[in-house]
Amino acid sequence: MSLWQHAYTTKVDGHLIMINSGARDTIDCNDGYLKLDGDRNTYTVTGHCRRLEIFGSENRVVAESAEAISVFGDSNVVGYYSGAPTVIKTGPNNTVSQRPRGH
């Protein structure tokens, strides 16, 4: 359950798109496509993502697993627990790394 109400959430052709700033939330990727857009968000993504895209600045995202992770913006920190995703990073100070469970 979100501590803040989503500014904008929609599902298009099975793709979940969330646009917000300053949110904390847990999202089930459900083997789909997830696009997160905004600034200063903290998301925990459960389940497997075929594709995970993050747009904006200073977002913190931890995903269970993904086939592809793309990060666009500045100072985003993205972690994943399992798999070997294809990673695309555009913009300064973006990091994507595998993390041990419990972190």
Q: What is the pLDDT at residue 27?
A: 93
Average pLDDT over the chain reads 89
User: What's CA 101's distance to the chain center, in Å?
Assistant: 17
At residue 1 the predicted structure's pLDDT band, cuts being 50, 70 and 90, is very low
Q: What is the pLDDT at residue 4?
A: 45
4-42 confidence digits (pLDDT tens): 445 656 665 667 888 899 999 999 998 999 999 999 999
At residue 103 the predicted structure's pLDDT band, cuts being 50, 70 and 90, is low
At residue 67 the predicted structure's pLDDT band, cuts being 50, 70 and 90, is very high
Structure tokens at 78: 């993205």
Q: How far is CA 78 from CA 12, 55, 61, in A?
A: 24, 11, 5
Q: How far is CA 44 from CA 17, 24, 32, 91, in A?
A: 15, 8, 15, 22
